[in-house]
A and B are shown apart, each in its own frame.
Chain A
Amino acid sequence: MTVAGTGQDGTAGTVGTAGTVGTAGTGRASGPVVRRVLAGGAGPGAGDDGYPGADAGPLAGVYRLLVDGTLRTVDGAWLGESLLTVLRERLGVTSVKDGCEQGRCGSCSVLLDGKLVTACTVLAADAADSRVTTLAGLPDDGLAPAVQAAFLRHGAVQCGFCSPGFVVAVTDLLGRRPDADEHEVREALAGNICRCTGYGRIVAAVRAVQEDLAGQAGRPGEAAPGEEAS
């Protein structure tokens, strides 16, 4: 992997000797101990997998993910890294949000080979060679644009942090079950937390898309519920 180096330009102060910091509460700084790191190019990706306390297992081999239709190579990741971490931190896909890392908030909802998952509870290495579809990879000619437009029109977006995950989940649901009844809609979306809206406008947006779909049903040539990207 590539590690962004720091301090190589010599601005990072002294190459430190570690010290014991006293407990004097009123002690004023003489400057913390600072070390230049990676000046020689050594990074955590090379050679510290045996470090006690390693928290993500050994390094994974090189593997590939098909992210939104593009083959991405993951090199130097730890075996224990979640798909969320790999997407956000290694591949720079920041529309996938990190809200809880426990699969509880749904902010990192993506499709894995077409199936809705929380990226934080999927081992990225386990997903090798799989299709990962994030918000950006939902097809333009499918349901996602209608879901996004409805979210805006009906006020389903406030802080917006849950919106990418919600749009992925709603698009997935309505693609499979366009005429889902209210209970089914609510159950299907219960894996996505929104703290701002109280869900009222989200429900309104979903209903609006469902009504549009019902209006289109049976009309040949109209857009059908989209399939996720391949």
Chain B
Amino acid sequence: MTAALPEPGRAGIGASSLRPDGPAKVTGTFPYAGDLALPGMLHARTLRSPHPRARIVGIDTSAALRVPGVAAVVTAADVPGVATYGLIGLDQPVFAATEARYAGEPVAAVAAVDARAARRALAAIQVDYEPLPPVTDPEAAMAPGAAPLHPDSPGYGPGGDHAGSGHPNIYRQIDIRHGDDPDLVGDVVVEDTYVFGMQDQAFLAPEAALITPAADGGIDMVTATQWLHSDREQIAACLGLPEELTRLTLGGVGGAFGGREDVTLQIHGALLALATGAPVRIAYDRVESFLGHPHRHPARMWFRHSATRDGELVAVQARVILDGGAYASSSVAVIGNAVTHAAGPYRVRAAHLYGASVRTNNPPCGAMRGFGVPQVTFGHEAQMDRLADALGMDPVELRARNALKAGDVLPMGVPIPGPMPARELVELVAARPLPPPLDPASPGVASGLALPGGRPAGADPARVRRGVGYALGIKNLLFSEGADDSSAARARLELGPDGVPRAWLHTACAEVGQGFVTIAGQIARTELAVEQIVLAPADTAVGSAGSTSASRQTWMSGGAVRGACAAVADRLLARVARALGLPPSVVEAPRRVLSLRDGEIIGPEVGARIPLAEALADGPVEAEYTHHHRRTERLDERGQGDAHVAYAAAAHRAVVDVDLDLGLVRVVSLALAQDCGTVLNPLSLTGQVEGGTAQGLGLAVMEELVTVDGVVVNPTFHDYLLPTIADVPDLDFVAVTYPQLDAPYGVKGVGEAPTGTATPAIVAAIRAAVGRDLRRVPVRPADLVMPGPTASAGAASPGGAETIGEAETIGGEDGHAG
């Protein structure tokens, strides 16, 4: 069947080259981590605390060990190395030992001959819990004098302190003060509190790893992750193994979106493999996947915006509280992003932006596409609409008027690096053609499929209202706040078995679906003028590529591949120059005379025209290169500093239809204009922004992991709703392509920016349709039809400020339990 499939790409950068792993994926032969098997392997499962907070009095595994087919049970007492791990600070126990701090925390793991025996053994483990009252409200957890929820935890600041928070339950707090007078207030003031639900990455392939104990005492692990080297560091420390004996290879990854940045089942599986001496497959099902990885932070955010009467933003104040849950994960970095983006893509004369990420007994939260930015984008964009309303101004005009341009000073006291076409984006998106109005005579209305809800029972087309909304946002690219971020790549130009020159590439970059494997080949073809590419498996035998997150791999690992290939080309050209007897000055800088083109080395000045195959006859040429981005700074105590490498902007326009009786929303049309930098692969770019947009749509109208007293009540795809093909309209996408001058080829990362703006644009459109404030996402049917406050009458007076922390009450905050 594969004979009929199109060839993967042969083109260099700029072309819509096809995925090299596409044929295997579309024929079902691509090996995902959960598909791997070895003869004699054991199956491992994890026991989790049902309590959000409980003292563990004792664990009795004797009955579990009597279950037929069980090979081993491990608990905290069996961890030979460091007892805790974590992405930034080591505060999460491999297994809960003395206290479980969230419902779902691992307590033990079992290996058995099959998954069923393992599950039975879990049921037979006796854990003596003494439940304690959970603290599930971040405001209570961070209140002065609140008891520490994890007294043994290290801090996360530079000196291991609590990042200056002065409170044991605050992972980190940041206080940005910008402008001469942070209390400066303009003529017109709007303020409100916004609530943001917990979203899950919901990558489609649940977590899995296959671990083989090795004869040298180490392990070989194949797993689906975003960052092999970070996993290895944490796994090795907990196993008490040297890192060189802890070898990781990337298994097929079925999506990630931040949810595979933290270690989940890897250490558990490795402990069992070492204990039993047998290969171990450890895997989660969907429920465990929901419980096993950190989520997007829920947030409560207060904003006060003020402007002059003619619509110039004067001051922004914000207080952003992120619920980090029981363990730190990346909470200290996520709050950094949230606070530094809280004023949005706008020039402000004064800003006072405070934020904290807080420890509670809720599920841990960490990385998800956007990394703290979608939360504040929802808030600042709701505020911009409120302000436009209060000013009697068009919301697009207000945004355009205040949009940042390159060189404008950010609240962190530094100019925003360019290009920054924010104004252009919002104007572009507003100029896109609107969809035709809902036609009662259309077949779609007749069948009901074009109505909100898609053929809903009892729908009255006359009670459907349309609304249009806009959002503009920025998202930082790459790692921030002084991180020494790099990616390494090895490249080799060689003759294949068929005598044809080819490029061989080796990186540890995690391909999670985003398409780095395609881009890497395009870069190598561009730099080395060959068609054939061989990609070595991503593993820890090469230097770290950093994480597949933060919109960074095309820039960072793409830069590493480019650098390695360029070094290979330099060496080969020097070899040829030497062979041609050219002067030493040319051998040292051969590109002055020679270049690689279409499988040949040519040098018109010296009459050279040598097939690559001939030049490589003396042996392959290899080079390694590590790419770094420019250094950034940590924020100082006033939140000032050059914290982010670069930014990308995006603007969405959403058109929705809302059924006023049923509270159902149909997103009719989405337009996106995005600041993309140089485009390396238009097809891949389109896929990234469409996927990012759909995740923002999900957050706007359906996705929420609901907790009640700290317990997740909807950890299944039956109850956690994801957008389907019937929910997501075609995206009208305009790419704006000013090159980012300090990036390889001028690229920008593209995956995250549209996730942040899709949500507020859709909610703005719903507000416009129904005339309600809607200060919470996701918007639920009850928020649209149940009695509650309708749209604000206009600007709140400064004196009428709502107390920070007293939120909206539409529909309550606990959510509906699925």
> What is A's interface to B at a CB cutoff of 8 Å?
3-9, 11-13, 16, 18-29, 31-38, 42-44, 47-48, 51, 53-56, 78, 89, 92, 94-102, 104-105, 107, 134-136, 138, 140, 144-146, 148-149, 151-155, 157-164, 167, 181, 183-187, 189-203
Q: Which residues of A contact B285 (CB under 8 A)?
A: 98, 101
A23 CB contact (under 8 Å) in B6, B59, B70? B59
Can you name 30 A-B pairs with beta carbons within 8 Å? Answer: A4-B39, A6-B42, A18-B65, A18-B66, A21-B60, A25-B98, A32-B74, A33-B72, A37-B68, A37-B112, A51-B68, A94-B31, A100-B718, A155-B683, A155-B684, A155-B686, A159-B204, A161-B205, A167-B26, A183-B443, A186-B449, A190-B724, A191-B724, A195-B202, A195-B204, A195-B722, A196-B687, A197-B690, A199-B728, A201-B683
Interface residues of B, count at CB 8 A: 118
Extra contacts besides A6-B41, A135-B27 (12): CB < 8 Å: A6-B71, A18-B63, A23-B98, A31-B78, A53-B123, A54-B120, A95-B28, A95-B29, A105-B722, A185-B725, A195-B203, A196-B255
Cα distance A194–B756 when bound, in Å? 19
> What is B's interface to A at a CB cutoff of 8 Å?
1, 4-6, 16, 18-19, 21-32, 34-35, 37, 39-42, 56-80, 83, 93, 97-98, 112-117, 119-120, 123-124, 152, 202-206, 213, 252-257, 271, 275-278, 285-286, 443-444, 447, 449-450, 454-455, 512-515, 683-684, 686-687, 690-695, 716-718, 722-728, 730-731
Whether A44 lies near B116 (C-beta < 8 A) is yes
Cα distance A25–B79 when bound, in Å? 10
B254 CB contact (under 8 Å) in A20, A95, A159? A159
| Nearest CB on B from A56, distance (A) | 6
Cα distance A98–B287 when bound, in Å? 12
A24 CB contact (under 8 Å) in B25, B57, B97, B117? B97
Chain A, residue nearest B277 (CB): A11
Q: Which residues of B contact A164 (CB under 8 A)?
A: 26, 28
Choose among A23, A51, A152, A159 the residue with the greatest number of B CB atoms under 10 Å from its CB.
A159
Choose among A4, A27, A136, A193 the residue with the greatest number of B CB atoms under 10 Å from its CB.
A4
Q: Which residues of B contact A136 (CB under 8 A)?
A: 27-28
| Nearest CB on B from A9, distance (A) | 8
A25 CB contact (under 8 Å) in B68, B97, B275, B693? B97
Known pairs A44-B113, A54-B120, A201-B686; A19 contacts B98 (CB<8 A): no
| Nearest CB on A from B32, distance (A) | 6
Q: Which residues of B contact A53 (CB under 8 A)?
A: 120, 123-124
Cα distance A134–B34 when bound, in Å? 18
Q: Which residues of B contact A192 (CB under 8 A)?
A: 724-725
Whether B447 lies near A183 (C-beta < 8 A) is yes
Cα distance A3–B113 when bound, in Å? 7
| Nearest CB on B from A59, distance (A) | 12
Q: Which residues of A contact B691 (CB under 8 A)?
A: 158, 195-198
Cα distance A24–B286 when bound, in Å? 32
Whether B62 lies near A158 (C-beta < 8 A) is no
| Nearest CB on A from B662, distance (A) | 18
Chain A, residue nearest B80 (CB): A29
Q: Which residues of A contact B28 (CB under 8 A)?
A: 94-96, 134-136, 163-164
Which 6 A-B pairs have CB atoms at the shortest separation, nearest pair first? Answer: A95-B28, A159-B513, A160-B25, A18-B62, A198-B694, A161-B254
Q: Which residues of B contact A101 (CB under 8 A)?
A: 285-286
B25 CB contact (under 8 Å) in A34, A51, A163, A195? A163
A19 CB contact (under 8 Å) in B61, B124, B514? B61
Known pairs A31-B275, A193-B204; A198 contacts B692 (CB<8 A): yes
A43 CB contact (under 8 Å) in B22, B68, B727? B68
Cα distance A33–B114 when bound, in Å? 18
Q: Which residues of B contact A11 (CB under 8 A)?
A: 213, 277-278
Whether A200 lies near B276 (C-beta < 8 A) is no
Whether B206 lies near A99 (C-beta < 8 A) is yes
Whether A200 lies near B97 (C-beta < 8 A) is no
Q: Which residues of B contact A183 (CB under 8 A)?
A: 443-444, 447, 449-450
Whether A190 lies near B257 (C-beta < 8 A) is no
Cα distance A189–B93 when bound, in Å? 42
A3 CB contact (under 8 Å) in B1, B22, B32, B114? B114
